[in-house]
Structure 1
Amino acid sequence: MNKINRKSKVALLSVMSNTMLIILKVVAGLLSGSVSIISEAIHSSMDLVASIIALFSVTVSSKPADRQHPYGHGKIENISGVIEGLLIFIAAFLIIKESINKILNPSEISGVSIGIVVMGIAAISNLFVSRELYKVAKQEDSIALEADALHLKTDVYTSLGVAIGLLLIKVTGIAILDPLVAMLVALLIIKEAWVLCSDAFGPLLDTCLPEEDEKQIQEIINNFDNVTGCHSLRTRKSGHYKYIDMHLVVKGEISVAAAHGICDEIEKSIEEKIVNSSINIHVEPEELPIEEK
């Protein structure tokens, strides 16, 4: 299975899963009158939109570079991640609004057992799908799939939280626990959105690669005898591609062919350590000492 099909198929799995869960949660929420279940349906609706965006972005980001996009289409995954983060913020706001309304205008909750069962199904389903998304996201270095996985991972915790809240209501009869649990769900979602937006937005500003990657690059360069230095190292990330530019200082007496060979070896070594990297090296001769007259 190639990368395009693999990423797209796992994203499609997320779309199908979220669609099923929305239907289950809406039905359970309407039957029980539980705002926490309705809040979870809202959360899943945002997850569905996010999954559709992720499916679109991983398909487009895998396209090869062209004349208009010489650096490829990778950054669309970062744009997707930012949009998904904003959608989570909106979901949290809607949940808090509905919870406050429920506190001010309380109503009886019925069909608690149905709600507990649906939330349990939702948690198990999202646990399975999020693990699959994380697995492919890490292997393919896809921020869009990682963002989608983060959505569903949070949904696992929130679904369990709602189920526990409904169980407490059934045991204690205290109905106000329902909107309080929903507000707790919203706070967890806000935290999720903040982390997601931070991770996705950085590459849009061309932030450098992690310090560990740049350290590896420097260690590789130091292993070559005819290389005396390196400066103007610049790194950035676009989707799963990593771009590395540097000025390499070599001994002045070596030939152009030898310098070119060193560059090829350095590029090969970096590509082995940092996958999906594109390296551009500008060679400079070492300044020879001026001979005394």
Structure 2
Amino acid sequence: MANNSQSIHTEKEKIALLSVGSNTFLVLLKLIVGLTLGSISIISEAIHSGMDLLASIVAYFSVKKSALAPDDDHSFGHGKYESVSGMFEAILIFVAAVIIIYEAGGKILEPTAEPMDPTLMLAGIAVMGISALANAFVSSRLMKIAKKTESIALESDAWHLRTDVYTSVGVLAGLVLIRLTGITILDSIVAIGVALVIMKAAYDLTQKSYKDLIDCSLTDDEIKRITTIICEHYSDYVSYHGLRTRRAGPEIFIEFHLVVDKSVSVEQSHDLTDHLEDDLKLEFPRAYVTIHVEPNTGENAHKPSLCENTSK
């Protein structure tokens, strides 16, 4: 189990480093071409990739930190470092969007009459194409590992790069239109469109990270999967109640009370809870399960079991 956990963390760190390397290359490429061409949409994309680079560095270090074992100061582990990383990355996206809108708005209010160099424009189109393809590849790899390891830091990074794919394609289309029509203001309009797409991604990431940080319950679908597993053992106990769940980065916490018959021995109760924990961890490998066993006192026997309907 320890080797498997170590393998998962190593895989997460490797894909996080790939994101850092890819973003570093794209920031330099976009800045060089954007400044040479004088294209605000390409420069805005460089700013976007710069924020992505900073976010990917934060994601890398949060993944390393979350892999640390529980200690005296963090007895429930370090999983929330990934949630904090997701929130930080969302804020960075908002900042990038505001910068882009400010720069593009200035260009619209004081447009330049100087046309873009056709040769350099082709270089800009090529750069946007390279950016879209590179980010499509890296984001798909990130998202695959994020889903596999339930890492919100990697998922946030993947969404960053996925929005970069959409915005790169938008800028590319804008440059093509400018080349065909000669209307340079299209560059700023496309840049503002890029910013709006970025803001939507930031809003979604903020919501997800915020829910983890304030200990919201798991999703309805996840809770349904948990109750289904508990109910599969309904014949072995009287009832259960007080189910509580929360998430901390890639880890989830499941707690509930299990009411057993008075005649059931401590050893039998222990075996039952171990079996329930094992089944829950098969479905949720990063789960910490706490089960409080109660004897049937008659009073708690009247507590409605969530499995009654499924047992009939």
CA RMSD of aligned residues (A): 1.2
Q: Which residue does the alignment assign to 1:59? A: 64
Please point out which of 139, 145, 154 is paired with 1:136. 145
Q: Which residue does the alignment assign to 1:182? A: 191
- AA aligned opposite 2:107: K
Q: Which residue does the alignment assign to 1:89? A: 94
Q: Which residue does the alignment assign to 1:100? A: 105
Secondary structure at 2:238 match in 1? strand
Secondary structure at 2:258 match in 1? strand
Q: Given that residues 65 and 73 in structure 1 are in contact (C-alpha distance below 8 angstroms), is that contact kept between their aligned partners in structure 2?
A: yes
Q: Sequence identity, in percent?
A: 48
- Aligned positions of 1:176-215 closer than 5 A: 176-215=185-224
1:57-83, Cα deviation, whole Å (9 max, x unpaired): 000001111111111000000000000
Q: Supply the distance in 2 between the matched residues of 1:221 and 1:3 (Cα, whole angstroms).
A: 27
- AA aligned opposite 2:293: V
Q: Which residue does the alignment assign to 1:250? A: 260
Q: Which residue does the alignment assign to 1:47? A: 52
- Aligned positions of 1:12-31 closer than 5 A: 12-31=17-36
1:144-163, Cα deviation, whole Å (9 max, x unpaired): 00000100000011001001
Q: Supply the distance in 1 between the matched residues of 2:184 and 2:122 (Cα, whole angstroms).
A: 14
Secondary structure at 1:2 match in 2? helix
Structure 1 residue 145 corresponds to structure 2 residue 154: yes
Q: Given that residues 221 and 227 in structure 1 are in contact (C-alpha distance below 8 angstroms), is that contact kept between their aligned partners in structure 2?
A: no
**Runs of 4+ residues deviating >3 angstroms:** none
Unpaired segments of 5 or more residues in structure 2?
1-5, 300-312
Q: Given that residues 213 and 274 in structure 1 are in contact (C-alpha distance below 8 angstroms), is that contact kept between their aligned partners in structure 2?
A: no
Q: Supply the distance in 2 between the matched residues of 1:90 and 1:281 (Cα, whole angstroms).
A: 44
1:164-215, Cα deviation, whole Å (9 max, x unpaired): 0000000011111000000000000000100111111111111111222222
Q: What TM-score does the superposition give when structure 2 sets the normalisation length?
A: 0.90
Q: Given that residues 3 and 140 in structure 1 are in contact (C-alpha distance below 8 angstroms), is that contact kept between their aligned partners in structure 2?
A: yes
Number of corresponding residues: 289
Unpaired segments of 5 or more residues in structure 1?
none
Q: Supply the distance in 1 between the matched residues of 2:298 and 2:34 (Cα, whole angstroms).
A: 78
Q: Is the deviation greater in 226-235 or in 166-175?
A: 226-235
Q: Supply the distance in 1 between the matched residues of 2:16 and 2:101 (Cα, whole angstroms).
A: 29
Q: Which residue does the alignment assign to 1:127? A: 136
